[in-house]
Structure 1
């Protein structure tokens, strides 16, 4: 295929700005050979989350997922980091928090809409037959690797893309195409000797070189559906989805807060919801209220489990009646077991009535994991 003139590239850049894309870059579609050994090693030692595309070869070689790839267009959208209207603080009413990357409308939908508009424009402008494959982090390619190659920024020690203008508070997407564009220059790494993200990570998930043990990341832990391992519960604090710590401590993110996209603006009552009402929310209400957010993709059970853990971390005694109701009535072992643990964290040791309640519930409990949570709570309160 003959090389496409730079004028088309320039027109695409101008159009990307018109449709609200904050950064755009162009990369070759050559294989990402330098990542293959790292990915295989990560998989071998069990550091992948399981949410990634499972076929490593397809993550490395664009030609395995696209016919005659020539270029990859990488885009970035900057998202807000501060709420304009913070919910009113009322004594005794405890709130959880969704991480910033889940504020507003699900970023997958926003990015796809922007990429679809850009693709439609390129099809009109190109003087040859054009094919495309757009994707956002659920696709085969590794967003940060594409973005780094395309000159949008560099991959920091926390594994995130860091841009000069917006720090790491950006959503990434890419489009593989059979058009050939002049590639942009990659940005050199700018972390230097800084290790703030590594020392700031509460679970030691970061390995120091841009890789991580994804299973130790609190963001991953908040998205699982089973019992959260004990070692992560107190470290979760009151964040009920995701984790921002490695971004908050990064010097490149100091003072970064952009409000370019109305659909990314958070609804304060939803991104910092009252915790106790979450424990009895119906499926319908959950979908109506949170369904548009990226943080709802795993359904309500992980959010409810995390809300219980957050209430325990707050030592919120007013939550005890609602937690006891979960133990008595909820059909899901994860919720019953987590609620029993929370009661063990919150209740007073001299509360014989609660101990008796837990013993009776334990005797009825059939799930082995939940039984263990009951046993530990009872032992703690009887100590």
Structure 2
């Protein structure tokens, strides 16, 4: 087998199926990363969504015992939306982060990886392969960095010269000894814009993120939003792009390349009020194909309530009062109570006092009290 020719042909094939960047690295352990992950664990900075076994995250041979190299791929996604609707009083809108525009990127990246697997299987008898994207054991960014896809920015994103940090990543471990690529030189320089503007200070220092404080993580949780972060969410209902939108390396990187990632403006910037009472069936039908739907409708609804409070949207108070009275989920009832107090107005205080007399859940009662205090402040 001529590995060099195979690698050249694979690069050409990857481009033909819509892979925007491809790189190669060895299957050797990610030792420096292992130390960083242990430190993150000790500090309590992990999100809890990632693989918990650090050995699996940093040692490819634990995932494929014959591993010799890793193929890294990147697909660019758009940073701008055409015909974006504008919210206004009575018609406030939320925003999904760019990584949730269009179809679920897990599906799109896995499709490319599957095609590469099939291509290799046709050409290399007995080839061993293991692919993954986002939810796999390996750290996508670490693989991409070592394979020369881009450098790891201070905002903890992989930044590519061609597409900025607006790229989805995936990788494929194999027993084929491909020639590794050289990592790209870090070009962040003295810039600290991403650290300076992070809404919650989650970027503790260059390259270190406290995921527990990150807005992108917080919008995906299902419990009550911690008080100290509610004012920082704004109208974000899934994810956060702030540390990317301010990055100079993303300037003029529009990436209108793949139709499957181009957003439907009414889904990417949905009206907030209709989200309050959306049924499970309608939610799955409308938002199911987006990656931002993976946690179900509850976090999206909770975030929509917080966004309406952010706008002090008086028109939403009757809907919020109904949620406070009738919704079966304590998190939704309680967040609605807080939002009613935050927005205020003639209906708010009486509605909260009535709810205080009827509510039985301890956590919801605390939120009602917070709402009443907000009205008085």
TM bin (shorter chain)? over 0.9
Say whether 1:290 aligns with 2:290.
no
What corresponds to 2:327 in structure 1?
330
Say whether 1:370 aligns with 2:364.
yes
Give, in whole Å, the separation in 2 of the partners of 1:17 and 1:379. 58
112, 115, 133: which one pairs with 1:136?
133
What corresponds to 2:199 in structure 1?
202
253, 256, 259: which one pairs with 1:256?
253
Give, in whole Å, the separation in 1 of the partners of 2:259 and 2:112. 14
116, 122, 125: which one pairs with 1:124?
122
- Show the 5 A alignment for 1:150-299: 150-299=147-296
Give, in whole Å, the separation in 2 of the partners of 1:366 and 1:247. 43
Say whether 1:34 aligns with 2:28.
no
TM-score (norm 1): 0.96
**Comparing 151-160 and 83-92, the one that deviates more:** 83-92
Say whether 1:381 aligns with 2:375.
yes
Q: CA deviation at 1:234?
A: 1.4
SS at match of 2:23: strand
What corresponds to 1:304 in structure 2?
301
Note if contact 1:4-1:181 (Cα within 8 Å) is conserved in structure 2.
no
Per-residue CA shift, 1:78-132, capped at 9, x if unaligned?
A: 0011112222555521000000000010000000001111111111122x41011
List, as ranges, runs of 4+ consecutive aligned residues in structure 1 with deviation greater than 4 Å: 88-91
SS at match of 2:253: coil
What corresponds to 1:51 in structure 2?
49
What corresponds to 1:23 in structure 2?
21
Q: CA deviation at 1:38?
A: 1.0
Per-residue CA shift, 1:166-200, capped at 9, x if unaligned?
A: 00000000000011101000111111111010001
TM-score (norm 2): 0.98
Give, in whole Å, the separation in 2 of the partners of 1:91 and 1:323. 16
Structure 1 spans left out of the alignment, 5+ residues: none
What corresponds to 1:358 in structure 2?
352
Per-residue CA shift, 1:115-158, capped at 9, x if unaligned?
A: 111111111122x4101111001000000100011011100001
Q: CA RMSD in A?
A: 1.2
Note if contact 1:355-1:382 (Cα within 8 Å) is conserved in structure 2.
no
Note if contact 1:323-1:339 (Cα within 8 Å) is conserved in structure 2.
yes
SS at match of 1:199: helix
Give, in whole Å, the separation in 1 of the partners of 2:146 and 2:176. 17
SS at match of 1:207: strand
**Comparing 114-123 and 242-251, the one that deviates more:** 114-123
Give, in whole Å, the separation in 1 of the partners of 2:140 and 2:88. 41
Note if contact 1:69-1:178 (Cα within 8 Å) is conserved in structure 2.
yes
What corresponds to 1:69 in structure 2?
67
**Comparing 183-192 and 81-90, the one that deviates more:** 81-90
- Number of positions where the alignment pairs a residue of Structure 1 with one of Structure 2: 377
Q: CA deviation at 1:382?
A: 3.9
Note if contact 1:96-1:239 (Cα within 8 Å) is conserved in structure 2.
yes
SS at match of 1:202: coil
Per-residue CA shift, 1:200-220, capped at 9, x if unaligned?
A: 101111122312000110000
Give, in whole Å, the separation in 2 of the partners of 1:136 and 1:88. 34
Per-residue CA shift, 1:20-49, capped at 9, x if unaligned?
A: 000000000000011111111110110000
